[in-house]
Structure 1
Amino acid sequence: MSNHTLSFWLLIGLLVLLLIVGRLIAGLIWWAIGRATPPTQRLATRTGHALSGRRRRLDAISARFPRTSAWIGARFATDRFTGLPLTLVVILAGYLVSLASDLAEGVIEREEVVHFDARVNAALAPLRNTDLLHVFAQITHLAAIPTLVAVVLVATAFLWADRRTTYIPGLLLTVLGSQALTYVGKYAIDRHRPDFLTFASAVTPSFPSGHATGAMAVYGFVAYAIARVLPSPRMRFELAYWCAALILLIAFSRLLLSVHFTSDVAAGLLVGGFWLLAGFALTEFLNERAKRH
């Protein structure tokens, strides 16, 4: 551990400042998106005017290729989850898969990402204050397997008691899928851990980070389940921001404790994000089917 670490209270102050500034920036972005997005009725009117000149051409194509046109139309329908929302989820999930596969390829072939990992690990030396490390050791325990199992069991019990049983399969898919893929990746790639520069250690291979995966999957799905019943967009925004902050703090704790490289943590977040989208999709599908019946 470096002898030239910054003081504990300075680091805590910087962390609090970072969270506050991040909240302000996120709030401004949220406000700007809300102002820039036109009301639904006005948007529909504009879209109708834009398409009115092309209606005959579209009708001719639909008449010639009825099945293909119906399938494409269903993929962009906005009145049900299996339309445009599912299409966007699938596109985003595919993008996450592409990012994760590129990252894994860079690690396996020991490309620039490996050198970047080493530079980041060395750059964190001034932050490895002993007292701060103990704080982040407690944060990292929030994504340990026993803690995540307890959170999943409590969440399942609450969902069952609240008669929201359609959320339980999505939660289990997110958690089990993300953990299974993470441990397959760990032993398939078999990457060595960084040098243990603090009191923390680990025994499993390094890539991807199981803590980052678990934090994204479990806390992300719990936040989603809570947000679905919150009465206002402002409350959902606050929940999303502070849940994201918690996930990022857990992810950063793995770097600060020198038990993971940056690419390990990034890959864990991508794996957790992919399975989180899968859990969202399954839950919304089950909710939609339950409403129909």
Structure 2
Amino acid sequence: MNDPLSFWWLTLLLVGALIVGRVLAGLIWRFLRWVTPQTGRIATRSAQRLPGRQRLANAVSARFPRTSAWVAARFAIDRFTGLPLTLMVLLAGYLVSLGTDLAEDVIEGDQIVKMDHRINIALAPWRNADLLHVFAKITHLADIMTLLAVVLVATAFLWAHRRFRYIPGLMMAVIGSEALTYTAKYAVDRARPDFLTFASAATPSFPSGHATGALAIYGFIAYAIARDLRSTAVRFELAYWSVVLIVLIAFSRLLLSVHFFSDVIAGLLVGGFWLLAGFALTEYLNERSARP
């Protein structure tokens, strides 16, 4: 096993990764803000120029009125229950597919198990004693009692600011993600990796509850804050640094050798699914309350 690197070298690498990540994320954000309207206009013009488009649409609508109306409603862009909800459902389904495939590979395959062990061993140079204590503090941000306190404080703030429609979405993200995580833990019953540091854990390994809770809870809180922000620049900063926090918590589980890599990925998939569910419920409630 390789000797740990210097604490300051590791800190410099982490800070450098954050700076590079911030620059790249900013460039991607600017590119998407530029290209999305352009792509929409081009697609609209192309669709309008298709020969016989309106005639075909009228014929289909006359032959299958209910089906046509349902499909049109699913792709409407003037309300959340149209195209935005459709895209969310498709993404949620994709996350479910990835999660079930990953669980099957963990239970039945040995390739992913070998990969997990290789990644755990490869992190040995990062297990500097000082850095481990820093990441031990970071990992505590997603302990069950810490997350419970965060949820209670967030709920109190939402209630105090009369943002009642956000509370059911937050509760759905919390309860759904934790229930599915602990059900999967004892259903798969995967052993933890060898505890190579001072950290330890008692529950089964797959999936990571810390990764699940971090994404579902901190992700929803970031969404609730960003939802009413007017500045897109501030929204971007909030989103980026929220992602950084979640990634650091997820990485802490690997560095402390209490989870395998696939455990963390599975936890993020579970958290992502229930985060989308919380988004969908909140946006639906917001849209319904705005109707005359």
- Distance of aligned partners of 1:236 and 1:67 in 2 relative to their CA distance in 1, 3 Å threshold: same
Aligned partner letter, 1:265: V
Equivalent residues, number? 292
Could you tell me how far apart the structure 2 residues matched to 1:192 and 1:107 are? Answer: 11
Instruction: Say whether 1:137 aligns with 2:144.
Output: no
Task: Calculate the TM-score normalised by the size of structure 1.
Answer: 0.96
Matches within 5 A, 1:151-230: 151-230=150-229
Q: Find the aligned partners of 1:65 and 1:213 in 2 and give their Cα distance.
A: 43
* Partner Cα separation in structure 2 for residue 51 and residue 285 of structure 1: 34
**Alignment of structure 1 residues 12-31 onto 2, 5 Å:** 12-31=11-30
Residue 56 of structure 1 corresponds to: 55
**In structure 2, C-alpha distance between the alignment counterparts of 1:40 and 1:102, rounded to whole Å:** 33
2:120 alignment partner in structure 1:
121
- Aligned to 2:288, the other structure's residue is in SS state helix
1:152-176, Cα deviation, whole Å (9 max, x unpaired): 0111011111111000000000000
**Once the 2 structures are TM-superposed, how far is the Cα of residue 47 of structure 1 from its aligned partner?**
5.3
1:258 aligns with 2:257: yes
Identity of aligned residues (%): 72
Distance in 2 separating the partners of 1:226 and 1:89: 20
SS of 2:49's equivalent? helix
Shift of residue 230 of structure 1?
0.8
Please report the TM-score for the alignment, with normalisation by the length of structure 2: 0.97
Unaligned runs of 5+ in 1: none
What's the offset of the Cα at 1:41? 8.9
Q: Distance in 2 between matches of 1:75 and 1:172?
A: 26
TM-fit CA distance, 1:49: 2.8
Residue of structure 2 equivalent to 1:35? 34
Secondary structure at the residue paired with 2:80?
Answer: coil
**RMSD of equivalent CA atoms:** 1.5
Tell me the CA shift for residue 149 of structure 1: 0.6
Tell me the residue number matched to 1:46: 45
The residue matched to 1:191 in structure 2 has which SS? coil
SS in 2 for 1:37: helix
In 2, the alpha carbon distance for the partners of 1:111 and 1:166 equals 45
What letter is aligned with 2:273?
F
Matched AA of 1:190:
D
**What secondary structure, in the 3-state scheme, does the structure 2 residue paired with 1:165 have?**
coil
Unaligned residue ranges in structure 2 (runs of 5+): none
Structure 2 residue aligned with 1:248: 247
Distance 2:37 2:77 in 1: 16
Q: For residues 40 and 156 of structure 1, do their structure 2 counterparts lie closer, same or farther at Cα, with a shift above 3 Å needed? A: farther
Structure 1 81/136 Cα, relative in aligned 2: closer, same or farther at 3 Å? same
Q: After alignment, is 43-52 or 61-70 more displaced?
A: 43-52
Shift in Å at residue 84 of structure 1? 0.4
> Secondary structure of the residue that 1:230 maps to in structure 2?
coil
1:235 counterpart residue number: 234
**Mapping of 1:74-85 within 5 angstroms?**
74-85=73-84
